[in-house]
Amino acid sequence: MRVFIAALRNRFELFQYWIVAQIVFGVMALLRLAPPDAALNFADKVARTFGPLTGRHKVAVDNLSQAYPEKSAEEHDAIARDMWGNMGRLAAEYVFLDRLFDFNPATNGENRVEINKAGEPIFHRLRDEQKPRLFFTGHLGNFEFLPIVAATFDLQMTSMFRPPNNPYFANYVLRRRSGAMGSLLASRRGVAFSVARILENSGNVGVLVDQHFMQGVPTTFFGRACESSPLVAKLTRNYECDVHPARCIRLPGNRYRLEIQEALTLPRDAKGRVDVNGTTQLLNDIVEGWVREDPGQWMWFHKRWKISKRKKKKTGAPVTPA
């Protein structure tokens, strides 16, 4: 009987996911009928209107009040509304991904999408070098453009991503991403082994590093304790791969600047090995610097500072063999 009830519950949950997905897909189809700029601006306004009515808005404002105690409640609310506008644009950009990305090395700076001046020679050099690399970024601007620009320079990259809970959304996102973003790798249990195999073959892997990671490395972000994934640091320690910061910045007029930097000099321990805790904190500090430049472009509603309950190790008298 319990098995039957569980199966029924799963079917009902799947049906709910389907209903929500059909509504969202319908809205996306309507947006597709409009010019991209008009659709992005419309999505921005809708998100700014309805986002503050959700419970996540309270989470965002609370996080902002602790990150920026010197700012007023009105300023916190304004940043949160900018964040909702950014999220609305990001959702709409999935619809126009094939029409928005127009980067061309020959006319860099003249199109909707541009990259920093130092970025072009870096991409050209990395393309010709055969060595393992990790690229890290955060949920800033349209971070989906980063693997696309790498593909433009024939730099093959595998991007790690966290699939949405809704399986219909997950399939949609996978289809939209896989066309122009190179290989994709879902962030599930055991993913470290898959990434390790890529690095062993001198591959490139892109990772988002600004989310809460259960039972992760104790770190700080905006001066508050948090848990962060040690994946980048541990892989770098094992494979001695370069680690490059990369980010996307929203510009006025629905334009974007993509930035890639040279490989970081990572902290090391007394034995010369990459310091896992120190490297993980360094990545946090870099992302924090990016967020401080334009806080409205980061997702403040994420429970970044949630601390997991640590499992106590079992203790007891040693067992004596018979």
- The string of pLDDT tens digits covering residues 179-205 is 556 677 777 777 888 888 999 999 999
Q: Could you give phi then psi for residue 267, rounded to 5 degrees?
A: -65, 145
Euclidean distance between CA atoms 183 and 206, whole angstroms? 10
Largest CA distance in the chain: 78
What's the confidence (pLDDT) of residue 320? Answer: 33
Q: Say if residues 192 and 198 touch (Cβ distance below 8 Å).
A: no
Euclidean distance between CA atoms 245 and 206, whole angstroms? 10
Among 149-163, 179-193, 216-230, 250-264, whose mean pLDDT is lowest? 179-193
Among 147-156, 177-186, 289-298, whose mean pLDDT is lowest? 177-186
What's the confidence (pLDDT) of residue 322? Answer: 29
Euclidean distance between CA atoms 79 and 48, whole angstroms? 11
C-alpha Rg value of the chain to the nearest Å: 21
What's the confidence (pLDDT) of residue 73? Answer: 97
- The string of pLDDT tens digits covering residues 208-244 is 999 999 889 999 999 999 999 999 999 999 999 999 9
Residue that has been written with the tokens 């490395």 in this structure: 217
Q: Is the pLDDT of residue 310 over 70?
A: no
- The string of pLDDT tens digits covering residues 70-97 is 999 999 999 999 999 999 999 899 889 8
Structure tokens at 305: 């500072």
Count of residues making up the chain? 322
Euclidean distance between CA atoms 80 and 97, whole angstroms? 25
Q: Work out the mean pLDDT of the chain and round it to a whole number.
A: 88
Residue that has been written with the tokens 């008298």 in this structure: 317
294: confidence class by pLDDT, cuts 50, 70, 90: very high
161: confidence class by pLDDT, cuts 50, 70, 90: confident
Neighbours of 25 (CB within 10 A): 14
